[in-house]
Amino acid sequence: MDDPGNGCHAALVQLQAYLAQMDHAGETRLPAERELSESLGVSRGDLRKALAVLEKDGRIWRHVGRGTFVGSGPVEETIGISEIAGRTNPADVMRARLILEPEIAREAALHATLSDIAAMRQSLVQTREAVTWRQYENVDNLLHRQIAQASRNNVLLGLFDVLNAVRRTVVWGRLRSEGARPPADHHSFADHERIVEAIAERDLGGAAAAMRLHLQQVERRLIPVREAAE
Amino acid sequence: MDDPGNGCHAALVQLQAYLAQMDHAGETRLPAERELSESLGVSRGDLRKALAVLEKDGRIWRHVGRGTFVGSGPVEETIGISEIAGRTNPADVMRARLILEPEIAREAALHATLSDIAAMRQSLVQTREAVTWRQYENVDNLLHRQIAQASRNNVLLGLFDVLNAVRRTVVWGRLRSEGARPPADHHSFADHERIVEAIAERDLGGAAAAMRLHLQQVERRLIPVREAAE
DNA sequence: AATTTAACCAATCCGCATATGATTTCCCTC
DNA sequence: GAGGGAAATCATATGCGGATTGGTTAAATT
3-class secondary structure per residue, A77-100: CEEEHHHHHHCCCHHHHHHHHHHH
The distance in angstroms from the start CA to the end CA of chain A is 63
Distance of residue A36 Cα from the nearest chain B Cα, in angstroms: 24
In strand D, the nucleotides that come within 7 Å of a protein beta carbon are 3-7, 11-14, 19-24
Q: Point out the residue nearest to D4 (C-alpha to C1').
A: B45
Q: Distance from CA of residue A55 to its chain's centroid?
A: 28
Best to test chain B binding among A99, A103, A144, A152 (most B CBs inside 10 Å):
A99
- What local confidence, expressed as pLDDT, does residue B56 receive? 87
Give the helix/strand (H/E) hosting B29: strand B29-30
Q: Do B143 and B127 contact (CB within 8 A), yes or no?
A: yes
Find the Å distance, CA of residue A34 to C1' of nucleotide C7.
Answer: 14
DSSP symbols for B187-228: HHHHHHHHHHHHHHTT-HHHHHHHHHHHHHHHHHHHS---TT
Q: Tell me the domains of chain B and their CATH numbers.
A: 6-70 (1.10.10.10), 81-222 (1.20.120.530)
For residues A137-156, give the mean pLDDT. 94
A177, pLDDT greater than 60: no
Report whether pLDDT(A123) > 90. Answer: yes
- The CA–C1' separation of A187 and D12, in angstroms, is 42
Round to whole Å and give the CA distance between A17 and A179: 70
Sequence-distant (≥ 6) Cβ neighbours of residue A193 within 8 angstroms = A124
pLDDT confidence of residue B54? 93
Query: pLDDT band for position A170 (50/70/90)?
Result: confident
Question: For residues B38 and B47, what is the distance between their CA atoms, to the nearest angstrom?
Answer: 10
Q: How far apart are CA B70 and CA B59, in angstroms?
A: 6
Beta carbons of B78 and A81 less than 8 angstroms apart: yes
Contact residues for B48 (Cβ-Cβ < 8 A; gap 6+): B33
Q: Which residues, listed in sequence order, are joined to residue A30 by a DSSP beta bridge?
A: A68
What pLDDT is stored for residue B2 in this prediction?
Answer: 42
Q: What one-character DSSP code corresponds to residue B124?
A: H
Distance between CA atoms of residues A207 and A167, nearest Å: 22
Nearest residue on chain B to A154, judged by CA atoms?
Answer: B88
The tens place of each residue's pLDDT in chain B, 230 residues long, gives: 444 456 678 889 999 999 988 878 878 899 999 999 999 999 999 999 999 999 988 889 999 999 999 987 776 777 778 788 888 999 999 999 999 999 999 999 999 999 999 999 999 999 988 887 777 888 999 999 999 999 999 999 999 999 998 898 887 655 555 556 667 667 889 999 999 999 999 999 999 999 999 999 999 887 766 655 54
Q: Measuring from the CA of residue A44 to each C1', which nucleotide is nearest? A: C4
* B163 contact residues in A (CB cutoff 8 A): 155, 159
Cα distance between residue A187 and residue A183, in whole Å: 9
- What integer pLDDT is reported at residue A196 of this predicted model? 98
The DSSP string of B58-88 is TSEEEETTTEEEESSS---SEEEHHHHHTT-
Pick the more confident residue, A131 or A228: A131
Instruction: Please say if the pLDDT value at position A208 is more than 70.
Output: yes
The per-residue pLDDT for range B184-194, each reduced to its tens digit, is 667 889 999 99
Looking at every residue in chain A, the average pLDDT score rounds to: 87
Residue A68 forms beta bridges with which residues?
A30, A62
Q: Does residue B225 contact residue B107 with C-beta atoms inside 8 Å?
A: no
State the pLDDT at residue A169.
81
Name the residue among A129, A126, A110, A120 with its Cα closest to residue A205: A110
pLDDT in tens, A27-76: 889 999 999 999 999 999 999 999 999 998 888 999 999 999 998 777 77
Q: Which pLDDT score is estimated for B178?
A: 54
How far is B98 from A106, CA to CA, in rounded Å?
13
Using CB atoms and an 8 Å cut-off, which of residues 170-229 of chain A contact chain B? none
How far does A150 lie from chain B, in Å, by closest CA? 13
Nucleic acid strand C within 7 Å of A46 CB: yes
